[in-house]
């Protein structure tokens, strides 16, 4: 691999930039207008009309029945896990190749993560690995009286005796995993699925938006994402989710995100342990403008992806492409080196030239706080960790 050929090509794609960052936000719509409206109204905190407008628009865009805006993607995942019934001492299945927030949110509930391998072409949880592990490690027993899931039988890990309360697959770098197969397998074992769609706003799998296959899905709108609210996240749901419906998930999520405060003209009444997770109106104002421009942002990113794809394939370098049935948002483009040593050498070479590429995350079970967690060896995840390089992927509109 000729490093100079790659870095020169990247510089051609982002001309005139002294530093080329991995992913920068684009503000090309009503951002200033909506922020001024928000400030003029004085509603800049967790009450204001832009919050509901963003929630309604997100539900329509993704095809979900309901959406709840919160302060960030980590808070979204934590709250979704709590509402799904995950309790201290339970186990939650997820993947080893993910941003640390995925495992942190599981830890916030007091549950233990189980890290199962990924598919190399999606970088997301492998249905095959999931099925093999469940068949070899799980038996169905009667659910405890306080279990919130439907049905009379719950899955238990025969080695630890712990109940498995959820599965959290991730759509890595915006590439959809084989989520339909994962949901089918988990349904057979009565395991709720919460999609970590933090990176995949605008990604579709078999013509359906990510985050809407499982019981709930979460998104992140951090400043480095495809669309941003500055800091923010969203929970979407499609089961018992319509506002006002009996036991609405959206109503419960929204209630808990606002400190579980019971409405009253002046008294401070609370009926559960709640969280200060509600998205501020000022962030929602920014997000609404971003969502309005999302089709153009995605169009620009798709063009960049195709240019990268043609370049790397022509050079005989493995490149992250959409698997069959998937339409990624191409949040971060990536290619694969031959080895960890080549990867590290390239990252240093690019960094020295102010092109800020990044490797994959360190595998979660390699981190000190998660080394005790169960895994299945994570062979494919280790392969990707050693070789993957993310390259500048900002939209240009």
Task: Give per-residue pLDDT as tens, 29-88.
Answer: 999 999 999 999 999 988 899 999 999 999 999 999 999 999 999 999 999 999 999 999
- What pLDDT does 246 receive? 46
Specify the range with the lowest mean pLDDT, choosing from 59-73, 107-121, 145-159.
145-159
Cα–Cα distance measured from residue 380 to residue 97, given in angstroms and rounded to the nearest whole number: 9
| CATH 3.40.640.10 intervals, the chain | 31-292
Rounded mean pLDDT of the chain? Answer: 95
**In the CATH scheme, what is the code of domain 3-27+293-391?**
3.90.1150.10
- What pLDDT does 148 receive? 74
Task: Give per-residue pLDDT as tens, 249-304.
Answer: 888 999 999 988 888 788 888 888 999 999 999 999 999 999 999 999 999 999 99
**Is the pLDDT at 239 greater than 80, yes or no?**
no
b/e map 339-361, b = 16+ CB within 10 Å: eeebbeebbeebeebebbbbbbb
| CATH 3.90.1150.10 intervals, the chain | 3-27+293-391
Residue range 339-364: mean pLDDT, rounded? 98
With a pLDDT cut of 70, the percent of the chain lying above it is: 97
**CB–CB of 373/365 below 8 Å?**
yes
Q: If you search the block for the tokens 């989520």, which residue do you land on?
A: 179
- What pLDDT does 271 receive? 82
- Give the class (CATH, top level) of 31-292: alpha beta
Residue range 182-189: mean pLDDT, rounded? 97
Residues 6+ apart with CB under 8 A from 127: 119, 178, 181, 182, 185
pLDDT class of 240 with cuts at 50, 70, 90? low
Beta-bridged to residue 261, according to DSSP, are: 270
Q: What is the 3-state secondary structure (H, E, C) of 270-337?
A: ECCCCCECECCHHHHHHHHHHHHCHHHHHHHHHHHHHHHHHHHHHCCCCECCCCCCEECCCCCEEEEC
Closest residue by Cα to residue 112 from 71, 151, 74, 168: 168
């Amino acid at each position: 691999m000729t490093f100079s050929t790659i870095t020169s090509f990247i510089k051609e794609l982002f001309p005139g930039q002294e530093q080329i960052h991995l992913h920068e936000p684009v503000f090309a719509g009503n951002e200033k207008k909506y922020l001024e409206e928000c400030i003029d109204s004085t509603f800049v905190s967790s009450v204001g009309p832009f919050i509901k407008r963003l929630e309604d628009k997100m539900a329509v865009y993704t095809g979900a029945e309901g959406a709840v805006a919160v302060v960030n993607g980590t808070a979204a995942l934590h709250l979704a896990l709590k509402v799904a019934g995950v309790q201290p001492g339970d186990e939650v299945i997820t993947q080893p190749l993910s941003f640390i927030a995925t495992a942190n949110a599981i830890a916030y509930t007091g549950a233990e993560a189980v890290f199962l391998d990924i598919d190399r072409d999606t970088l997301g949880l492998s249905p095959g690995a999931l099925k093999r592990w469940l068949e070899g490690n799980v038996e169905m027993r009667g659910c405890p009286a306080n279990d919130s899931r439907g049905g009379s039988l719950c899955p238990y890990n025969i080695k630890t005796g712990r109940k498995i309360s959820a599965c959290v697959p991730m759509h890595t770098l915006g590439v959809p995993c084989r989520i339909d197969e994962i949901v089918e397998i988990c349904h057979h074992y009565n395991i709720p699925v919460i999609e970590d769609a933090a990176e995949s706003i605008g990604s579709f799998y078999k013509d359906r938006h990510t985050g809407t296959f499982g019981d709930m899905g979460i998104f992140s709108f951090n400043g480095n994402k495809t669309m941003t609210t500055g800091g923010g996240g969203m929970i979407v749901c499609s089961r018992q989710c319509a506002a006002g419906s009996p036991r609405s998930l959206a109503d419960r999520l929204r209630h808990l995100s606002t400190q579980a405060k019971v409405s009253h003209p002046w008294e401070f009444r609370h009926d559960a342990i709640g969280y200060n997770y509600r998205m501020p109106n000022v962030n929602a104002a920014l997000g609404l403008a971003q969502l309005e421009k999302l089709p153009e942002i995605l169009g620009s990113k798709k063009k960049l992806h195709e240019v990268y794809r043609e370049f790397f394939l022509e050079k005989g370098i493995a490149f992250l492409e959409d698997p069959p049935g998937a339409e990624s948002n191409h949040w971060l483009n990536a290619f694969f080196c031959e080895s960890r040593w080549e990867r590290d050498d390239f990252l240093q070479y690019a960094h020295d030239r102010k092109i800020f590429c990044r490797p994959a995350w360190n595998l979660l079970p390699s981190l000190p706080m998660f080394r005790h967690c169960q895994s299945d060896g994570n062979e494919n995840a280790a392969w990707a960790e050693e070789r993957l390089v993310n390259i500048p992927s900002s939209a240009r509109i």
